[in-house]
Homo-oligomer: A and B are copies of this chain.
């Protein structure tokens, strides 16, 4: 997107304070991924070019695109907002634990959030313990409210030491014997390069929003259609909070128990629209819809 003299009209100010020219391909890709039509994508780009120039943050570009997408294709807007929807699960991080447990259940694991376990030196609360076949996953979760905050090597080191303490105990009791143990650190943002280097060196699996390149958190959420209700465009924040407070985390749960909408005090006139949106986003079950 360039001005008449060929210079880029929009400069993106990144979270770390640095700048880069705006590349519309990235925006097009994420809009297409959300299911936006070529027509609407073109409309968004034209509007952006006509009304904006100079410095913008990614967040501002996102908001511009989301607002216009919501006007034209609300269901695509919901998909588009998925990453932000995870942040709306904050600020405590507890719904994030429950949400990740759901993502594992949808993959066929028996999963439990917040499990107390005995290590050699300490009692630990493990954020997620999941089992499938002879594999047992121990996962520590790191939820960030701020999308630009990466999970750093200190967290990876701390998590590794916790698992080492658990393993020292388990080895004594030979408890871990029948299991293939997988140690994980899961975050809703990114990892620093040092965290990635250290984790790969000590055998700690990392799962972030877009890490690893394939099979990352976004991929798993989309494949299993484990869509949080915070994604829904037709719910206000108050309505989302009321549902979360009742333990309703997923669109799927709304479809299975539509009566929770009434329990949460949501106006009857909106129920059908909300259920339509939920059906579109998470389908009737696993694998019914093709990949977004």
Partner of A201, one of B121, B153, B160, B198: B121
Q: Is the CB of A201 within 8 A of B120?
A: yes
Residue of B nearest to A156 (CB): B161
Rounded to whole angstroms, the CA-CA distance of A154 and B198 in the bound complex is 17
**153-192 of chain A: CB within 8 A of chain B:** 153-154, 157-158, 160-162, 164-165
Do B198 and A121 touch (CB < 8 A)? Answer: yes
Residue pair B153, A157 in contact (C-beta under 8 Å)? no
In the bound assembly, the distance between CA atoms of A233 and B160 in angstroms comes to 46
CB distance from A187 to the nearest CB of B (A): 16
Output the least CB separation between A168 and chain B (Å): 9
CB distance from A162 to the nearest CB of B (A): 6
C-alpha spacing A160/B201, complex, angstroms: 16
Closest Cβ of chain B to A153, distance in Å, is: 7
CA distance A106 to B157 in the complex (A): 32
Q: Please, which residues of chain B bring their CB within 8 A of the CB of A164?
A: 161, 164
A197 CB–B CB distance under 8 Å: yes
CB distance from A9 to the nearest CB of B (A): 40
Q: Complex Cα distance A78/B280, Å?
A: 70
Q: Is A49 an interface residue (CB 8 A)?
A: no
Task: Say whether A115 faces chain B, with CB atoms less than 8 Å apart.
Answer: no
Q: A121: which B residues are within 8 A, CB to CB?
A: 197-198, 201-202
- Output the least CB separation between A154 and chain B (Å): 5
Q: Give A residues with C-beta under 8 Å from B.
A: 120-122, 153-154, 157-158, 160-162, 164-165, 194, 197-198, 201-202
6 contacts across the A-B interface (CB closer than 8 A) = A121-B198, A122-B197, A157-B157, A157-B161, A157-B165, A165-B198
Given contacts A158-B161, A161-B164, 19 further A-B contacts (CB under 8 A): A120-B201, A121-B197, A121-B198, A121-B201, A121-B202, A122-B153, A122-B194, A122-B197, A122-B198, A122-B201, A154-B158, A157-B158, A157-B161, A157-B162, A157-B165, A161-B161, A164-B164, A165-B198, A165-B202
Closest 9 CB pairs of A and B: A121-B201, A157-B161, A161-B161, A158-B158, A157-B158, A121-B198, A160-B161, A122-B198, A154-B158
